[in-house]
Structure 1
């Protein structure tokens, strides 16, 4: 940002020296990602009460992530025509409606379908929110992304706790909870977010696909595809082997999410400065892969599974900030386009992970999904390590900021 916008926004600064609009989007992002974590504690309850298999319940994650990923290809088209504010509001509106419909459903396939609708809303929101925070925040791109990742971490950490409390009343509660919270986010954005100028050049649906021709961005997307299979093996499948009630699952994923939030803000920047992006990413992904491996070896130990899930938040939070920071700088394309391209590939992996994990468990044993997830994450490490020449230059550009 140049000095003129900085002066015009000066009156809106809060103690952290960010415009009010950035904090509005930050708040809405927290609520949006609470919707993802809310489902975790109720997965076993849905399977039991609706007479569904774990693989059918896993489709609550897979349908949501698949539609999110595919729809991310159109977010730039939409936001460049109706503007950032109305793209965010439209996405939130979809989430409000489809979350309420999921809560009103009486069968697993209805819920799966409505979760897909929520995924459409999520796609409009998340890519636009990231580019908006990066574009409107004061300071470096890295610091803006840390703010965005902190919002994700807070949402993911608080979501399971609220989901456990509401889910202990009824499995429908978390879906209605998401709807109510997003109504609050909708009203806050509607009233507090100013109109942001539309881009001068309208985006094409092919822009994110074309952006993947840049080797650095493609490799980061492929890495995210691979490690998100492991990520969602842990998130969607682990609740079925913990043997905990809704409250217990809520507290476990609260710990996981808190570690994810704290490391994304405080640890990732320090590691990037000390060791550089590529080495830090490889280290975090390797540690996460070993965590999944331990979960496979000691699947019968509830204590090991619980501790492993919580510890995994340390590695995932750090890696998420590192990889997102690089994505926004690695290719000579608009930030929104880079975000959409990367997230498109990443969410496809997020859709594969839950279904693959539960199918493997049903076909073989409860340990196989964790072993498989570890293998995919290790492959992600290799993609980063052997593609470092396309990524490492970002450290020199940013000066480790």
Structure 2
């Protein structure tokens, strides 16, 4: 097994800090809602705006990095995140914070998409690189809620300032450890990431990624509200730190699933069997939290869901990114953009769905989207087997 380069460690650590930006708002959503007199729908826009902007900009990240180089793109992305995270902490109106979260999403998109391509390009073993990247995602998801809960217990502004400091540390690490290499080859056209959609198999896998990430982000973005409602019904006092600890446990299992669970299960049972089993497990989790407003049930099953999500993240990324011959930066832009689209849709719909069908409504739809993911992966398997059969009969085709 080859030694992991310092540049790879620097990028993955910065990735962990970057993904903290998603999870850190979870524990402070109810606090922001109360402090700034914002509706749950407005506070959910802190997720939605960030994710939509991230998804859109990710499709163009390869266009930027092919012109100015990966290191410069990483540094610009991190610099933008530092600036807008600090501005969120200084804001005094929820609508202003929503706008700044959009700016934050621009920096996050440039950084995250380029980071995956950088880690893949700097590693001799693509599967190990994906494991490290998804492990960093899990670590960030674990630390984000904990930092959000700890600092949010002081002020809702604290998590934003804390993230700005951590991202600045990541920026310094990349400045020092990632070697500068000018952009090489022909610059990518703006349309390059969309070429992945021209491949029938990639279209199917990306649609599966949208459905999966919808179910995943339903649990991540919506869970604080049913948890609070369940606690209120039983007379519990659920503070930001309590919520942060719940999502810290969720993130720990996510990180463990990404780094340990996914490689072991994929090696022993195959990527597809691993995906189907974990999709079934996550579907059960969302059905249980949809059906029960018992706070203990909510806490336990939200945390368990993190383990399934960690395994699924790594396995889905491996299946999608290794299914194409496109350049790494183009494939990374395409897949990263698509997965964030699914994540952006979920918080947008949780408000209307909970108003229509009660606290469990969003989870029922999330569970249905996970079932749809399994169906799409089965269809991909059938198409892959048929294609292999045709190639065996007609090797020259």
**TM-score, normalised relative to structure 1:** 0.91
> What residue in structure 2 maps to residue 17 of structure 1?
3
> What residue in structure 1 maps to residue 270 of structure 2?
276
The residue matched to 2:3 in structure 1 has which SS?
coil
The residue matched to 1:212 in structure 2 has which SS?
helix
> What residue in structure 2 maps to residue 388 of structure 1?
381
- Cα deviation per residue 1:180-215 (whole Å; 9 max; x = unaligned)? 111111112112221134231211111111111212
> What residue in structure 2 maps to residue 81 of structure 1?
67
Q: 2:88 aligns with which of 81, 97, 102?
A: 102
CA contact (8 A) 1:278 1:391 kept: no
Runs of 4+ more than 6 Å apart: none
- Unaligned 5+ segments in structure 1 are 1-14, 396-401
Quote the Cα distance in structure 1 between the aligned partners of 2:362 and 2:100.
Answer: 26
> What residue in structure 2 maps to residue 329 of structure 1?
322
Range moving further from structure 2, 333-342 or 125-134: 333-342
Q: 2:306 aligns with which of 307, 313, 319?
A: 313
> What residue in structure 2 maps to residue 12 of structure 1?
none
Quote the Cα distance in structure 1 between the aligned partners of 2:103 and 2:345.
Answer: 18
> What residue in structure 1 maps to residue 183 of structure 2?
198
Quote the Cα distance in structure 1 between the aligned partners of 2:12 and 2:240.
Answer: 28
Shift of 1:311: 0.3
CA 1:391–1:40: 2 relative to 1, 3 Å: farther
Shift of 1:16: 7.5
CA contact (8 A) 2:226 2:359 kept: yes
The residue matched to 2:347 in structure 1 has which SS?
helix
Quote the Cα distance in structure 2 between the aligned partners of 1:318 and 1:392.
Answer: 24
Quote the Cα distance in structure 2 between the aligned partners of 1:262 and 1:82.
Answer: 35
Quote the Cα distance in structure 2 between the aligned partners of 1:175 and 1:190.
Answer: 23
Q: 1:217 aligns with which of 202, 214, 222?
A: 202
Residue 151 (structure 2) pairs with residue 166 (structure 1)? yes
Quote the Cα distance in structure 2 between the aligned partners of 1:162 and 1:333.
Answer: 38
> What residue in structure 1 maps to residue 231 of structure 2?
none
Residue 54 (structure 2) pairs with residue 68 (structure 1)? yes
Q: How many residues align?
A: 379
Quote the Cα distance in structure 1 between the aligned partners of 2:63 and 2:319.
Answer: 23
CA contact (8 A) 1:277 1:392 kept: no
CA contact (8 A) 1:326 1:391 kept: no
Residue 241 (structure 2) pairs with residue 247 (structure 1)? yes
Residue 140 (structure 2) pairs with residue 155 (structure 1)? yes
Q: 2:108 aligns with which of 117, 122, 143?
A: 122
> What residue in structure 1 maps to residue 25 of structure 2?
39
The residue matched to 2:27 in structure 1 has which SS?
helix
Quote the Cα distance in structure 2 between the aligned partners of 1:349 and 1:26.
Answer: 23
- Cα deviation per residue 1:30-70 (whole Å; 9 max; x = unaligned)? 11111111111101101111111111111111101100000
- Cα deviation per residue 1:208-239 (whole Å; 9 max; x = unaligned)? 11111212222221111112111111111110
Shift of 1:390: 5.0
Quote the Cα distance in structure 2 between the aligned partners of 1:52 and 1:303.
Answer: 28
> What residue in structure 2 maps to residue 9 of structure 1?
none
Quote the Cα distance in structure 2 between the aligned partners of 1:100 and 1:178.
Answer: 8
CA contact (8 A) 1:253 1:310 kept: yes
- Cα deviation per residue 1:353-380 (whole Å; 9 max; x = unaligned)? 0120122112331111111111111111
Quote the Cα distance in structure 1 between the aligned partners of 2:42 and 2:257.
Answer: 33
**TM-score, normalised relative to structure 2:** 0.92
- Cα deviation per residue 1:304-326 (whole Å; 9 max; x = unaligned)? 11111100011110011011112
The residue matched to 1:203 in structure 2 has which SS?
coil
Quote the Cα distance in structure 2 between the aligned partners of 1:313 and 1:392.
Answer: 32
> What does residue range 228-239 of structure 1 map to in structure 2 within 5 Å?
228-239=213-224
Range moving further from structure 2, 155-164 or 382-391: 382-391
Q: 2:250 aligns with which of 228, 231, 256?
A: 256
> What residue in structure 2 maps to residue 8 of structure 1?
none
CA 1:391–1:167: 2 relative to 1, 3 Å: farther
